[in-house]
């Protein structure tokens, strides 16, 4: 959830693990020769083994600055949604050309981008490879590659043709991030080890996804050797975030969240609640990227888009066909809850901007407090910038922090 760069659930997780744990491994892809449209075409069937490479394509990442020597691929791989159903997700893998000279095997950083918009043209893999719209985290990828690390960057669930991105749906996003790390060693030519150390990283929407991945890792992907997670700008409580966004300059992010959560939980009422202006706003949100989301939907309020003029609190009371309300589904996306069940065995770094104008700083602070109270070794840093600027300000510190985790150095706790 960001300003435009142009402007300056445990049961579901365990169920997913049960459904896939005994599945036979799918046949490995022999070569990355897929046509570009194949990466974004939903397959007729998806293997039940998470992290299976379905197809791949060699690409040049023109939006990663520095003219870095690397091999890179677009990848379509299997994951698991919040109901335990196998789904396909797209993403990017990049591996430096220079040999790894550090200890052990080359580490992998699983990266989830921040908000890019819901339009299919907005996916991170398309933008990094030159179909540029307004992505802003090429510097993050470049810094990791310069440090010698492989980068497995998921697009997140729902960027395939005919789908809707499941924006800020915690389990879906966390699974997608963990599963691209599982998929990375199976990409032909990657040279990566399945036993290598893995770091998780994301900011804003990506920060929520990477923290969900951290919470789900032990139960969902116990075979991954995750050694640390860095998460910034975290929308830890979607209700609290929504209250600040509704009718604001960044209300387009609220529209994205409503659309994304309903896509992940289709039993929730949605279309029936919208008036003509609401239907037009949804159509717009599904077609634009970051800058368009902000500029086209600024100042919109939920009550102006619904037939009954619903407030947020009234919307939360609306019940879906499965018996759950909007409020219950949103509460299930909260971070820092049930940390006794979500067993995190590695250090976490959390950070935010002192002047964050998109995510209420109180919810970011609450997540950090909850992690500390649960005994998770948690680093903490506040930067001087606003929401967008902080993403870039933190890059050097995050890459250094992940490097310490890969080297086996003990992590400091700021609890």
CA-angle at 362, arms to 360 and 364, nearest 5°: 80
pLDDT at 10 over 50: no
Per-residue pLDDT of 178-221, as tens digits, reads 999 999 999 999 999 999 999 999 999 999 999 999 999 999 99
User: Which of 242, 224, 248, 208 shows the shortest CA–CA distance to 334?
Assistant: 208
Per-residue pLDDT of 261-302, as tens digits, reads 999 999 999 999 999 999 999 999 999 999 999 999 999 999
pLDDT at 3 over 60: no
pTM comes to 0.93
Alpha-carbon gap, residue 198 to 180, rounded angstroms: 11
CATH class of 238-331: mainly alpha
Model confidence at 365, pLDDT cuts 50, 70, 90, reads very high
Conformation bin of residue 387: beta by default, left when phi > 0, alpha when psi is -120 to 50: alpha
Q: What pLDDT sits at residue 13? A: 32
Number of H helices, E strands in the chain: 16, 9
Alpha-carbon gap, residue 104 to 250, rounded angstroms: 44
Per-residue pLDDT of 226-275, as tens digits, reads 999 999 999 999 999 999 999 999 999 999 999 999 999 999 999 999 99
**Domain segments of the chain: what residues?**
5-236+345-406, 238-331
Find the Cα–Cα–Cα–Cα dihedral 259, 260, 264, 267, rounded to 10°: -20
- 3-17, 85-99, 124-138, 337-351: lowest mean pLDDT where? 3-17
Q: 411 vs 22, which has greater pLDDT?
A: 411
Residue count of the chain, please give it: 415
Model confidence at 28, pLDDT cuts 50, 70, 90, reads confident
Helix (H) or strand (E) holding 64: none
Cross-strand bridge partners of residue 62: none
First to last CA, the chain: 26
Angle between helices 395-406 and 138-146 in degrees, nearest 10: 40
Residue with tokens 């086209």: 296
What's the token pair of residue 221? 């992907």
Q: Within a 10 A sphere around the Cβ of 323, how many other Cβ atoms?
A: 8
pLDDT at 25 over 50: no
Q: What pLDDT sits at residue 23? A: 35
SS3 209: helix
Spatial contact of 107 and 245, defined as CB atoms under 8 Å apart: no
In whole angstroms, what separates CA 147 from the centre of its chain? 22
Alpha-carbon gap, residue 209 to 356, rounded angstroms: 19
CATH class of 5-236+345-406: alpha beta
User: Which of 242, 259, 261, 240 shows the shortest CA–CA distance to 251?
Assistant: 242
């Amino acid at each position: 959830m960001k300003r435009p760069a142009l402007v300056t659930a445990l049961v579901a997780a365990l169920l997913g693990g049960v459904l896939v744990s005994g599945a036979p491994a799918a046949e490995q892809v022999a070569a990355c020769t897929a046509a570009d449209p194949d990466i974004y075409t939903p397959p007729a069937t998806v293997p039940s083994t998470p992290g299976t490479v379905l197809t791949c394509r060699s690409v040049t990442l023109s939006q990663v600055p520095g003219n870095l020597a690397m091999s890179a691929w677009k990848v379509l791989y299997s994951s698991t949604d919040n109901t335990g159903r196998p789904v396909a997700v797209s993403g990017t893998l990049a591996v430096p050309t220079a040999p790894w000279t550090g200890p052990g095997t080359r580490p992998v950083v699983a990266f989830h981008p921040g908000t890019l918009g819901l339009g299919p043209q907005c996916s991170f893999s398309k933008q990094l490879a030159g179909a540029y719209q307004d992505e802003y985290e090429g510097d993050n990828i470049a810094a990791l590659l310069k440090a010698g690390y492989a980068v497995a960057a998921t697009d997140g669930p729902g960027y395939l043709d005919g789908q809707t991105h499941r924006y800020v749906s915690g389990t879906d996003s966390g699974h997608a991030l963990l599963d691209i790390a599982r998929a990375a060693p199976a990409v032909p030519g990657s040279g990566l080890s399945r036993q290598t150390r893995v770091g998780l990283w994301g900011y804003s929407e990506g920060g929520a996804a990477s923290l969900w991945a951290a919470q789900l890792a032990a139960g969902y992907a116990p075979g991954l050797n995750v050694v640390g997670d860095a998460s910034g700008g975290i929308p830890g409580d979607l209700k609290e975030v929504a209250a600040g966004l509704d009718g604001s300059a960044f209300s387009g992010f609220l529209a994205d969240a409503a659309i994304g959560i309903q896509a992940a939980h289709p039993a929730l009422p949605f279309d029936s609640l919208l008036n003509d202006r609401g239907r037009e706003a949804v159509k717009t949100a599904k077609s634009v990227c970051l800058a368009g989301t902000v500029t086209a939907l600024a100042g919109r309020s939920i009550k102006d888009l619904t037939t009954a003029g619903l407030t947020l609190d009234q919307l939360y009371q609306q019940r879906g066909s499965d018996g759950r309300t909007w409020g219950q589904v949103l509460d299930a996306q909260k971070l820092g809850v049930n940390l006794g069940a979500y067993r995190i065995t590695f250090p976490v770094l959390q950070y935010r901007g002192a002047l964050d104008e998109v995510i209420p700083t109180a919810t970011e602070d609450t997540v950090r407090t909850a992690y500390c109270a649960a005994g998770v070794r948690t680093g903490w840093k506040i930067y001087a910038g606003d929401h967008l600027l902080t993403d870039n300000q933190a890059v050097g510190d995050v890459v250094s922090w992940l490097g310490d985790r890969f080297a086996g150095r003990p992590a400091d706790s700021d609890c």
